[in-house]
Amino acid sequence: MKVVAVCTDTPEQITQGRGKHGLEGTFLSDPDLAVTELFGLRNLNTAVRPPGVNGLPVPTTLMLDAEGVVRWKDQSADYMQRSDPDTVRAALDEHFQALQ
């Protein structure tokens, strides 16, 4: 299984963040929210946003099958709540067998 993450940071900021947090996987830079917009995940109702960015992504976790179809989705209506690692792990266990 691959892991792909999208965020508003520039490639340089992502590299710094990866070093700090020891993250693995593919990290994509979406500073103008073009990818976020294609997924329909732009949130304009934000109290804080980076300079020059109109809105922010709604933090979202998707599980895609080998055809690129969304099989599972976790999203919160409150930006202070994120996908709990245990929730994602349980979903992986439940859906991944079917996705292999």
Partner 1 sequence: MFSTATLLGLAGLLLVIVTTTVWFKRASQVAIPDNRLAFLLGWAGAGVLGLASLGGPGTNWLSYFLGGLSAIGGVFFLGLYTLRKQNAANPIMVGDRVPMFEALDDQARTYNSDALIGTPTLFKFFRGHW
| Interface with partner 1 (CB under 8 A) | 1-9, 11, 13-18, 26-30, 34-36, 38-43, 45-47, 50, 56-73, 75-83, 88, 92, 96, 99-100
Q: Yes or no: say if 7 and 1 are a contact pair by the CB < 8 Å rule.
A: no
Q: How far apart are CA 42 and CA 14, in angstroms?
A: 20
Count Cβ neighbours within 10 Å for each residue of 37-48 and write b for 16 or more, e otherwise.
eeeebbeeeeee
- Quote the least distance from Cβ 54 to partner 1, whole Å: 13
Backbone angles phi, psi at 57, to 5 degrees: -70, 145
Residue 70 or 90 having the CB closest to partner 1: 70
- Quote the least distance from Cβ 2 to partner 1, whole Å: 5
Residue 36 or 54 having the CB closest to partner 1: 36
- Quote the least distance from Cβ 59 to partner 1, whole Å: 6
- Quote the least distance from Cβ 40 to partner 1, whole Å: 4
The three-state secondary structure class of 36 is helix
